[in-house]
A and B are shown apart, each in its own frame.
Chain A
Amino acid sequence: MSPVLFGILAALLIASALGVVLSASPIRSALSLVLTLFFIAVQFLFLDAQLVAALQVVVYAGAIMVLFLFVIMLLNLQEEPQAIARLGQRAAAVFLGSLFLLAAVHFLAKPGIGAGTGMAGAVPATFGSTELLAETLFTRFLFAFEITSVLLLVAVIGAVVLAKKTLT
């Protein structure tokens, strides 16, 4: 992927991510998050991971975020008044944020990371293809895959039980 294209996409991605944090209205925040997830999917697309990109849109942007919007609409949330954020909260946020930034800078400054432009030659032609991903998923990671599906099933049953007023 060309660095220029990556730069443009990354800028859009960060701008929409900032939109999530900085919007006063919850619905605009949620929509910015949809946009962020969409741009991440486009990044995947340029990294030859078509399947991951498609799943990112179908699952996150197309299903999960719709439920977020649903809840925001049904609760009829109003704009968040700025005054509510207390001084202590802000101080804690700044402290934790800078801690995270420090860790990120420390990690990225390590030699070898970011210099991996030579990697492109090592990627096989089938990289990111559905067949390869499915094969890895159903052989090496079969146990994790099955356990995750059981976990999701339990979550679904739990949700139904909680949502039902009377169990008959």
Chain B
Amino acid sequence: MVIDLLIAVIKALIVIGMVLPLAGILGWVERKGSALIQDRIGANRASIFGFAGAGLVNTLMADPLKFLTKEDVIPAGVDRLLHTLAPCVNLFPAIVAFAAIPFGDVYEVGDRVINLQAVGLNVGILYVLAMLSLGVYGVVLAGWASNNRFSLLGGIRGSAQMISYELGMGLAIVAMVMTFGTLDLQEMVRAQGHLILGWIPAWGILYQPVAFLLFLTAGIAESKRVPFDLPEGESELVAGFFTEYSGIKYLMFFMTDFVDVAVVAGLVTTLFFGGWQIPYLMRDGFHLPWGAVVALPQIVVVLLRLVAFMVKVIFFCWVQVLIRWSLPRFRYDQVMRLGWKGLLPIALLNVLATAVVVLALQG
């Protein structure tokens, strides 16, 4: 009983230990990456005894310290409780959404089999969707509780956009659920461990390339980043729904941004790119397609898979940063048209086509 509890706590700590540092490092990646793309030097002002660490000191130490020590301004005439609650409501669902994403297969100690996933839920993917759908409250509340019209407009834009793209995202996931026949994320990843024709890893993207594009687009729209950052829209709304926030609360909105990016990358990895799977790596070592076998101890396999999962997640985070700094912002009607007249019909057709294929293969 105590050991079970301890294992659960350790797994939760592993997930938090992956997500929060990743969010911090993404801040650095975003600032230096954008500089790279725009042919600038980027953050390099702060240094400790002349050591700037390629901007790491600036983004990972100086910036957070500055945010923490800034004055926390609460505008006059607002609901103080809701104004303070909004950034927390925004950040919390994004972090806990990661809990259902598996970071490894199983680890066997004696007769105990530990599932390498913070919470093994029968309805894993629905849980993640549920948490992502709660994220909209942070935006709505921040917009409303700021007593500022720019904020309110940003909040309304944000909630309308998130509700619209949840449909496309949900339907893309429905197609994946039909392909794998389960809602359990761990089972989905295990199903991607097979080989097609004996040498092609059966990753989700091979079955559902359309769902992948739909999901990635909807995911970026859900995280409200350029080209979908209408809720912020600096040129029109100052900073949108978080105009009236400063100090640590502003930092929390920023962190939500990066955690959202990490969650979308984690889901893309899990659903479409085999999660923790490494091609040809089984529980006891590499089984190469031409018959060679390289036996590996269990702990090495578990660590290799953890590293593979992290590498894939970081890669898709980088893809999102790349998209953010490459595309201009959409106009609001374009965002809505893309969501309702573009993604939704394609996603519905994709679900229909998947259903036909699944039925044909069964019967």
Residues on A lying within 8 angstroms of B by beta carbon are 25, 27-28, 31, 34, 50-51, 53-55, 57-58, 61-63, 66, 69-70, 73-74, 129-130
Contact = CB atoms under 8 A, between A and B. Distances in A.
B130 A58 contact: yes
A22 B141 CA distance: 20
- The range of chain B's interface size is 20 to 34
27 contacts: A25-B79, A31-B137, A50-B122, A50-B123, A54-B126, A54-B127, A54-B130, A57-B130, A57-B131, A57-B134, A58-B129, A61-B130, A62-B130, A62-B133, A62-B134, A62-B136, A62-B166, A63-B133, A66-B136, A66-B159, A69-B140, A70-B156, A73-B143, A73-B152, A73-B155, A130-B122, A130-B123
B82 interface: yes
Interface in B195-209: none
A55 B159 CA distance: 20
Contacts of B82: 27-28, 31
A2 to B, nearest CB: 13
A96 B158 CA distance: 41
Contacts, number: 66
B144 interface: yes
Nearest to A53: B123
B163 A66 contact: yes
Contacts of B79: 25, 27-28
B252 interface: no
B140 A73 contact: yes
A58 B159 contact: no
A150 to B, nearest CB: 18
Contacts of A62: 130, 133-134, 136, 166
Contacts of B166: 62-63
Given A28-B82, A50-B123, A73-B155, A58 B137 contact: no
Contacts of B144: 27, 69, 73
B121 interface: yes
Contact of B163 (A63, A129, A130): A63
A152 B152 CA distance: 31
Nearest to B182: A130
- Kindly name the residue among B121, B130, B134, B136 whose own CB sees the greatest number of chain A CB atoms within 10 A: B130
Nearest to A52: B123
A74 B156 CA distance: 9
A34 B85 CA distance: 14
A28 B129 CA distance: 25
B183 interface: yes
Contacts of B183: 51, 130
Nearest to B133: A62
A28 B80 CA distance: 12
